[in-house]
């Protein structure tokens, strides 16, 4: 790797979690540009689904989550 790249890596690690997440999103977008309207629609849909999962919804489509350990234990008992 070249020196500039190594310096960039060193600087990147000092960024906050939010800043690194934004940088990752920027880099991924630069590799595979995604239609901004589609991206916006997916973002809104993810927020809506997350809200339904956290708060439940009128149709109870998404039951309140369970701890992963509990789910895995159930699966192990059903599929030894």
What would the pLDDT profile of 50-68 be if each residue is shown by its tens digit? Answer: 887 777 665 666 556 678 9
Residues 1 and 29 in one domain: yes
Instruction: Determine the pLDDT at residue 61.
Output: 60
- Read off the DSSP letter of residue 28: H
Please state the domain count of the chain: 2
- Mapping DSSP onto H, E and C, the string for 40-74 reads HHHHHHHHHHHHHHHHCCCCCCCCCCCCHHHHHHH
- Indicate whether 27 and 55 sit together in one domain: no
The answer on pLDDT for 76 being more than 90 is: yes
Q: How confident is the model at residue 72 (pLDDT cuts 50, 70, 90)?
A: very high
pLDDT tens per residue, range 28-45: 878 877 777 888 888 899
Q: pTM for this one?
A: 0.43
- Verify that 27 and 46 share a domain, yes or no: no
């Amino acid at each position: 790797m070249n020196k500039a790249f190594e310096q960039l890596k060193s600087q990147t690690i000092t960024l906050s979690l939010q800043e690194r997440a934004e940088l990752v999103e920027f880099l991924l977008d630069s590799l595979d540009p995604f239609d901004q309207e589609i991206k916006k629609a997916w973002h809104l849909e993810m927020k809506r689904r997350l809200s339904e999962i956290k708060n439940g919804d009128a149709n109870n489509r998404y039951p309140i989550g369970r701890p992963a350990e509990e789910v895995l234990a159930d699966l192990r008992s059903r599929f030894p």
